[in-house]
Each structure stands twice: as structure tokens, then as C-alpha cells.
Amino acid sequence: MVKPPALRPGDTVGVVAASATVEHEHLERGVGVLTALGYKVRVSKHALDRDAILAGTDRDRAEELAAYFADPKIRAVFGARGGYGCGRLLPLLDFAAFARTPKIFLGFSDATFLLNVIVEKSAMVCFHGPMVAMDFARGLTRRSLDHLVRILSGETRSFELDAHETVRPGTAEGELIGGCLSVVVAMLGTPYAPRFDGKILFLEDTGEKAYRIDRMLVQLRQAGVLDRVAGIVFGAIRPVDGSESERALIARFVAEQTADLRCPVLFGIDAGHGTENLALPMGARTMLDGARRRVLFMDAAVS
């Protein structure tokens, strides 16, 4: 697995809108945070475009993402926001070319499409974490911001996160894949679906009713995915309107759909929607320890 070069103060971060439309004010606030961290920032010229609900045409968004990966002056590419749209870009991108110019890619939510395909087809570590016109604009906690900077600079080589609950006991080790549950499910049956065998599957989501979470877990189960992974770790799964009854149903459905698995299942690390959204290195070696309710990211280093 290729590790991208570390990001240092003074390096240029490229911000690309690969999904839904972006609000100018939110983008400016997020860029301000990056500038305060000491990075130079280049925002893609189409970042504020609007094509229905998308941030510009598929072709423009794909070309800008590819151009930012190819540009040697840009040391990292950060997503502007999620929503919807990344999946439409996959046939338009040359992921082998991404591997020839490795650099940090950071995003989550709808960017789950890109994260998994970069890991699979570019064989490159990338990062599930905060986005510029979303989390950065709203304000990251000091813990989340420090964690991100240390990982992307190479200062943090490995780290542990606590889970709230062990759903299934045991230990497991493998490369980390996954992200937003609804996007992972949407990738099934396509040429871009991750290879799940022996991997640690990370899942999170937001704004979904409990029955829809169950439906997606059932689909993963019936597709054979849950029997093929080495382990599963859930981040936040935030129910519609924060309903406690829905939250309890989601917990029940997660337990039911994983009850007879042979692999460990942990629930509730601070990653994804509605949490501190601590950055995770996708494609990096990861170990689950059910007895300690710990997830160890063993080699989160950039090069």
C-alpha cells in the first residue's frame, strides 16, 4: 500500500467539490481554518458551480479532481463537502494515474466512493475525515484538529480509539475499508465495490431511520459481505432527529445482524457524522480488540 507524502505548514492544499453544491460562506470559513493552520489553499475554480444539486457537471468535477492529483504543487486534496455526486465520477477517473502522483486525499460521507476506490485501484492510503465546507466550517474540536494535523504530518504513526461497546468479542487484524454505510451498499454489484475479504469494515451513517439501517445491513449480510470481513467497527449511526427510540432500534438491529458472525464487532468510535470525526487511515493495517473495546490503527503514517 502506497503512503502519500506528509503535509507540512507552507504546503498547498487543494480543495475540490466532487459532490453536492457548496455554500460560499461555508467554504470561506473552512478555508480560513486551513490557512490558520499554516497551509496554502487553492480552491478549484468550479467549486461553487451549480448543476441541479451538484457542484458542476460530472466532467468538470472529475477533471478538476484529476488535475489536482496530477499537479505537483498540490500536496493534498481535501473534499469540500459530501451530499451526493461522487459515484457519478468513478467511470471518468484514471485511478492508476492517482497512484503515479500519490498525495493525501481527505473526505468522508459521499466521498466514501472515492476513498474505497483509491484504496482498491490506486493501492494508496487515504483518509476518512472532516471536509472543508462542512466540519472545518462548523468548527472542529481541538482534539479532532490536533489529531488530523499529527496524522497528516506523519507525527502520529499509530493510535488507538475507544469503542463504546463490544457487540461481538474477539480480535482481528486487516486493512481498513468502508465509510458511510449507505454508500458502501450502493457500491455493491458495481466494478467499484471494495474487496471485503479479510478486511476491517468501518461503517457509519446519519439521518437514517432504523428500518433503513437494518435493510442495508441485511443487504450486506445477504451479499455475503459480513461473512468475508475479518472484523467490523461502527462509528456513529445518527438516527433521524436524534430520536432515542430510533437509536435503540438501530442498536438492536446491529446486534441482530451480527449475532452469529465469527468476527469481532465493535460499536461507537468517534468517527463519522455527528461525532468529533477523528480522521482514519483507509487502507492502513488496523486491529480490533473486543476485550479492551479498542481499535488500534497500527501504521497511520504518511511517507
Q: Which residues are catalytic?
A: 109, 204, 273
Q: Would you tell me how many other CB atoms lie within 10 Å of the CB of residue 24?
A: 10
Residue 122, all three cell numbers: 490506486
- Mind spelling out the 3-state secondary structure of 75-103? EEEEECCCCCCHHHHHHHCCHHHHHHCCC
Q: Give bridge partners of residue 301 from the DSSP assignment.
A: none
Instruction: Find, among 185, 238, 181, 179, the residue nearest to 210 by Cα.
Output: 238
Spatial contact of 193 and 220, defined as CB atoms under 8 Å apart: no
d(C-alpha 177, C-alpha 283), whole Å: 6
Spatial contact of 267 and 286, defined as CB atoms under 8 Å apart: no
> Buried (b) or exposed (e) across 28-63, using 16+ Cβ within 10 A?
ebbbebbeebebebbbbebbbbeeeebbbeeebbbb
Residue 235, all three cell numbers: 462509528
